[in-house]
Structure formats: structure tokens, C-alpha cells
Structure 1
Amino acid sequence: MRLLRRRFNPPAALPPGAVLAEVVGVHVRLGGREVLRGVDVKVRGGEVLALVGPNGAGKSSLLAVLAGDLAVARGDVQIHGRAVAGWSAGELALRRAVLPQAAELSFPFAVEDVVRMGRAPHDSSAAEDDTVVAEAMAATEVSGFAARPFSALSGGERARVALARVLAQRAPLLLLDEPTAALDLRHQELVLRVCRERARGGDAVVVVLHDLGLAAAYADRVAVLCQGRVAADGAPGDVFGERLLSDVYEHAVEVLPHPRSGALIVTAKRNL
């Protein structure tokens, strides 16, 4: 598939730890309900920020606000130091890449063509595109079915192809909405390792997760959302306390060190 391109100005390189996206005092209403209430969040290069919390807490809405895809009723949203409304769609595509919860296509594109769509914002050569697409497919382990139609894939395979498209976009801000939801254990770990690698390279990664164990293992920071507000924001070891999580999830939660590695384990308390 050959891409039609329009020339946009690429983002300037930012120093490590720079704020790539920020929301200040954000309020969002959907369907007559306030889903975000005075939220403040900063997203920095070089870190993985996990958004966690129960269903309906506002995680996906906050991700959409950070992407510039959801209008706010009040508050400020900035990407790369500029109000989100000040960027064109093409300029935004060079600065942030978004993975939605569901990946659907109406036409039977081949897997490789779907991944190549991530290169559309770039004014790059075919050879460079080929290299980037191949690297993204290898990172997500979808190279083996590059020629298969996207519509013929399983849910987990589609999720990995969609992630490969996001990686191929090579934006410095990655916004991923539940990227592990359809994946088996092995590929959940693979996806979060990819997130860590991108952060080590200086990118900012924001990922919505339901698995608190994955968030504890891979995130530099976690923002715990509850009823449209940020209940806590900090390193997993500082934020993941039994009392806070039990209150937020309305279910008893245990937080304990792994007996061998000492890594944080977060699990529901069960009476079996």
C-alpha cells in the first residue's frame, strides 16, 4: 500500500524528563455526567505512567483528553507545551500516537499495510518506512502473518497489530488504552516490556491498565482514578497501599513483597 503524504513540521527534541503532555483542572461531561472532575496530570518523557482504577473511574476519558480527542468543559490541555487546539491533526500525529480499546477496520487490509498506516504523518523515504514497519512488527511478534488480512486475525493478534501501527508512528508520546486486555500472559509481558523500552529511549508512555500487578511491575508512576478524580499519583511503591486500593475498588486488596525478588505484588483478598 502506498501512502499519500502531507508535509508537517516534526517535533523538536526535548530534554529527558520534559513534560510532553499536561492537563490542569480538567472537567469533562459525557451524557450528562461529569466523568472527570478537576484532574491534574503531567506526562514526562522517559517514564511509563499507568492509569488505574475501577470501571467508570475516568481512565479512558483522561487518555482521550491527553490525546486531544475529547473536548473538556473546563481546564487546560497541553501537548508539547502548546494548547492542544493549537495543533493541526497532522502535527498532533507526529507528537502523539493513540491505541484505542478496540481495533476495527472496514476493509480487508493486510497486516503489514495496517502497520504501515502509522507512517502516514511522516515525510520519509520508502526504505525508511520499510525499516520502521519491520521493526514494529518484530517488536510485537506479528511479522509471521504480515500478509494475512487484518479481519481474519484473533482478538489478541489484532491488538498486537494495532500496537505495531502505533509503534511505527514513532511519536514521542504513546497513549495506550488497555493494550493488554485481549492478550495472553506472555504477550501481556511483551507489550509492557515494549512500553519500558520506549520510555528508556526518552518517550512518554501513558497506559490504561486493569492489572495492578502489571502496573506495579512496569510503571514508573501510577495515577489512581476514582469517580473522576485522581485519588493518588506517584511511584507504585508509594501509591499502592492496601487501604487506598481497598477503598477505591470497594474490595479488600493485599499488597505484599514477592518472597524471592521483593517486587510488589497486588492481589484481591479472597475468602475461599
Structure 2
Amino acid sequence: MRGLKLSRFAPSSRPVPPPPAAPGEVLAEAEGVGVHLGGRPVLDGVDVRVRAGELLALVGPNGAGKSTLLGALAADVPVAGGVVRVHGRPAPRWSAAELALRRAVLPQAASLSFPFAVEEVVRMGRAPWAGGDREGEDEAAVAEAMARTGVTGFAGRPFSALSGGERARVALARVLAQRAPLLLLDEPTAALDLRHQELVLRLCRERARAGDAVVVVLHDLALAAAYADRVAVLRAGRIAADGPPAEVFAEELLSEVYEQPVEVFPHPRTGALLVVPRRTP
């Protein structure tokens, strides 16, 4: 709904937006990070860096700690050991308002208790900028995010009336509208069909090429190989490998991590890596 203003952060205490990041600048990092959830260790001594201009994919089997690591990098999950830094500062030293200008987070599930219209949901991504110098960008930011994710056509529909895939794209539009330099996306393609999976990963790659740091949790190794600049493979709460897909996606490593024999080979036309289960006839 046009004209909706969200003033979550008081103008009198406006945080200062971050300056543009230099290519390769570390915008988030985990150093020796451990996380305990429900009394059990989920992450154990994890080290990872997220750089401006890079798309980093977090992959690994169920329960490996991918979403927990993403939550720790977002400063949404408290760490039991080690340190998480966002824009060079330990995460607990940022206020909620300061963090909201520096990182945007897409959780796995998008749900709302009230019947907000799609455009209103996307506009929520502009809340961190309310009352600031860039508040005037709200209309353009919302319109661009909706157009890029293909949800402009149902701007007035209730969010609760959308399909799972449509909700996922609206939630991504909210993240894009926030225009934070660090994007943390948890399984953004999980509910999407083939066309929209490609759309979302292209958007992620474009944001990285434009200078943002983008982290995505993915289950589809082929998507990770096609779009990620770097891949971190998690196994049992630790990093099993970290590097470019061409170096990390080795048959022996992936077969061991997933406890399922896989084959890795180049696409016959493009040369892009393909990762498929090894099946017997």
C-alpha cells in the first residue's frame, strides 16, 4: 500500500549507514565459532569469511549446521564460543538498528499473522531507513524489488493468500528492498519451481557483482556450482571444505559428506560442473 511508513527506529537516534564496501572487503566472518542449541553442539570451531562482491553458498546434508551458521553470521543466533564480526565489529556491539542497515536476512519460512498486502510486506524492508536521509528512496526501492522478483502483478493481494513459492519471492523482495550490503538467505529456492530457482540465483549473482556480499544456504549442488563464487561444505557442525566450486566439489569429498556416492563431471556444452547421485542401472 503506497504511503505506508514504518518508523520502527526513532529519527532522534538514527544510526549511520555504512560506507560503500570495497571489493573483497570482509563484511561478515565467523572465527572459531561454536553454537549450542537444545543442549547439544551444532557448530564447532567454524571459520568462514564473507566478502563484498562474492556469492558464498553454504551446502551440506541435513543437520550439518548451515542455517545455524547463517543465523550466527546474521547475529540472530548467539554463539557459545569464538566471535562473529559484522563489518569488522563483534556482532553484539551493534544495535538492532545498526545491524538492519548492514545486513538483510531471509529466513526459511515466511509467515505473517495479519493480512498484509504484498506491497506492504515488501515495504517492511524499508523500515531501517525510516526518518533518514535515504527515506526518499522507498518508492523506487520497493518497486524495483517487486519487479526483479516478479511479484508486481499481485501487489494488492493478501500475503496469506499466496502460494508457497509466491510467498518466498515476496519475502526475497522485502530483503532486496532493504538495500543492505550483506544478504543472508536461508534456502531461498526451496519452494520455487525451476524457472524461479534460476531467477533467484541470478538475482543473487547480480547483487554480488554489484558489490554486495551474498550468502545462500542451498541443497541443490548444481545450483551452487553454477552460481556461487565460493562454497563452504558443512559436515556435523564443521567446515569440511571451503573454496571455489571447481576445487571443492570433488567426488570423494561429497560422497563422504553426504554418505551417498555422487558423480561430478563437466556439462558437455558449457563445461559447468554437474553433481548427480551415482545410481546403478
TM-score band, normalised by shorter chain: over 0.9
CA root-mean-square deviation? 0.9
CA 1:126–1:86 in structure 2 vs 1: closer, same or farther (change >3 Å)? closer
Structure 1 range deviating more: 121-130 or 229-238: 121-130
Q: Is the 8 A contact 1:140 1:164 kept in 2?
A: yes
What are structure 1's unaligned runs of at least 5 residues?
A: none
Structure 2 residue aligned with 1:214: 223
- Matching residue of 1:17: 24
The partner residue of 2:235 within 210, 226, 232 is: 226
Report 1:21-170 matches (<5 A). 21-122=28-129, 123-124=132-133, 127-170=136-179
In structure 1, give the amino acid aligned to 2:231.
V
**Inter-partner Cα distance in structure 2 for 1:262 and 1:195:** 21
Report the counterpart of residue 268 of structure 1 in structure 2: 277
**Counterpart for residue 189 of structure 2:** 180
Shift of 1:127: 4.7
TM superposition shift of 1:124: 4.7
User: 1:153, 1:180 → 2: CA distance?
Assistant: 16
The residue identity in structure 2 corresponding to 1:3 is: L
Residues 68-114 of structure 1: per-residue CA shift (max 9 Å, x gap): 00111110110001010110001000000000000000000000000
Distance between the aligned counterparts of 1:73 and 1:85, measured in 2?
13
1 CA distance for matches of 2:98 and 2:134? 19
Taking structure 1 as the reference length, the TM-score comes to 0.98
Partners of 2:103 and 2:40 lie apart in 1 by 28
Shift of 1:14: 2.2
Asked if residue 3 in structure 1 is aligned to residue 12 in structure 2, the reply is no
Residue 204 in 1 paired to residue 219 in 2? no
Listed one character per residue, the Cα deviations across residues 12-67 of structure 1 (whole Å, up to 9, x for unaligned) are 22211000001100111111211001000000000000000000000000000000
How far has the Cα of 1:2 moved from its partner? Answer: 2.1
Please give the secondary structure, in 2, of the residue aligned with 1:121: helix
Residue ranges of structure 2 left out of the alignment (5+ in a row):
none
Which residue of the other structure, out of 225, 229, 253, is the alignment partner of 2:262?
253
Q: What is the CA–CA distance in structure 1 between the aligned matches of 2:26 and 2:135, rounded to whole Å?
A: 32
The SS at the match of 2:114 is: coil
Q: How many residues align?
A: 272
* Contact 1:8-1:121 at 8 Å conserved across structures: no
Percent identity of paired positions between Structure 1 and Structure 2: 73
The AA in structure 2 aligned to 1:24 is E
Give the 3-state SS of the residue equivalent to 1:139 in structure 2: helix
